[in-house]
Amino acid sequence: MRLLRPVSFILPVVAAAIFLPHTGEVRADGSFIDHTDRGRFGRVRNSRAILPMREGRSPQIKIVQTPSEGGILENVPVKYRARFEKWKAEFVSTKFGKDLWEAYANNKEFVLRITVSGDRKHGAGTDDFEWDETGRLVGATITLGADLDDGFPNPIYYPVLNSLTSYTVSTGYAGRVLAAAKISHEFGHVRQIGNESMSLLETQSRLIPVYVSIFRENGLNPNDARLLAIESQIGGTPVGIWESREYSSEISAMLYLHERIGGEPRFCSVFNRIKQNLQTYAPRYEPRFGQHAEFEACGSGSRERSEGNPDTQAQ
């Protein structure tokens, strides 16, 4: 993953006062960079105070003409083509992935660009969002790391992707499932931004840098009245907005995994790990997951499913 060029360079003092997550970033244009295995793990002691964004990003709400020849544009270097095809096949092997893929592939008024980059390594990101003049999202770019099938994100913000550390199967397809789960997460970001108001995103893009600036100057006091006023305009703290989107995208990964490995012996190990991660690091988001029946597929216990042989599942 393109390791977040450490936020520590902008917040040396903050780093001393709080634990920065160093795991992800929402940029001022509302785009995402997902950090996987190389992020430092940090406990969120005061989430109001954590600012997972870089300074100096200018808002990039980009308005374009409504596309008429859209769909999915795969821009994958030849050297990564074979692995990409495997990840994609894994993703669309589920109804969840197939329906999503076809929805974007057949939408002529939306351009979804998908690329693979060696720079992103194990990570992925979604950015380059585009809206038309009516405020409708009409374009986005998903960038997948060339080593997407390896590397587990931290459990704090990526409780689902991290749960695949429990998915120990002896054949090689576990990596492809991990890659496809990460792809599901990124599709989640696209869908999510499509459901958000462009004007609110613009306001966030404009005011988050102001928030950061005030926060740095006020002695890192998150209760500053000016910050509270901004929060009311942008719908929360910068980190609250960011983490909410990450957890929503994790639900996409969970739905993919439920369908893909639901019949396998390790299934409940994985889903119990999801619960454990949420209960440990983000209990307030558990109800959001609980709105989906899939989340409760293994109940609250730790029973293992016994049917199926992990080594003979779809490869």
| Cβ 161 vs Cβ 251: under 8 Å | no
Min CB(303)–Zn ion separation in Å:
30
Nearer residue to Zn ion within complex by CB, 34 or 231:
34
CA distances, 305 to each of 170, 258, 262, 289 (Å): 17, 13, 9, 21
| Cβ 213 vs Cβ 28: under 8 Å | no
Min CB(159)–Zn ion separation in Å:
12
Nearer residue to Zn ion within complex by CB, 211 or 247:
247
Nearer residue to Zn ion within complex by CB, 84 or 158:
158
Min CB(146)–Zn ion separation in Å:
18
Min CB(2)–Zn ion separation in Å:
13
Nearer residue to Zn ion within complex by CB, 158 or 173:
158
User: Distance between CA atoms of 262 and 96, rounded to whole angstroms?
Assistant: 13
Q: Which residue's CB comes closest to Zn ion? A: 34
Min CB(13)–Zn ion separation in Å:
27
Min CB(34)–Zn ion separation in Å:
4
CA angle at 230 for the pair 226 and 234, rounded to the nearest 5°? 170
Nearer residue to Zn ion within complex by CB, 142 or 227:
142
Residues that bind Zn ion (CB under 5 A): 32, 34, 246, 249
CA distances, 87 to each of 16, 124, 154 (Å): 40, 13, 21
Min CB(188)–Zn ion separation in Å:
7
| Cβ 130 vs Cβ 31: under 8 Å | no
Counts of helices then strands in the chain (DSSP H, E): 10, 7
Nearer residue to Zn ion within complex by CB, 141 or 249:
249
Which residues have C-beta within 8 Å of that of residue 34, sequence separation ≥ 6? 1, 24, 123, 124, 125, 153, 158, 182, 185, 186, 246
Nearest one of 181, 167, 312 to 257, comparing CA atoms: 181
Nearer residue to Zn ion within complex by CB, 231 or 243:
243
Name residue, tokens 């695949």: 164
Spacing of C-alpha 258 from chain mean position: 17
Nearest one of 19, 100, 75 to 52, comparing CA atoms: 19
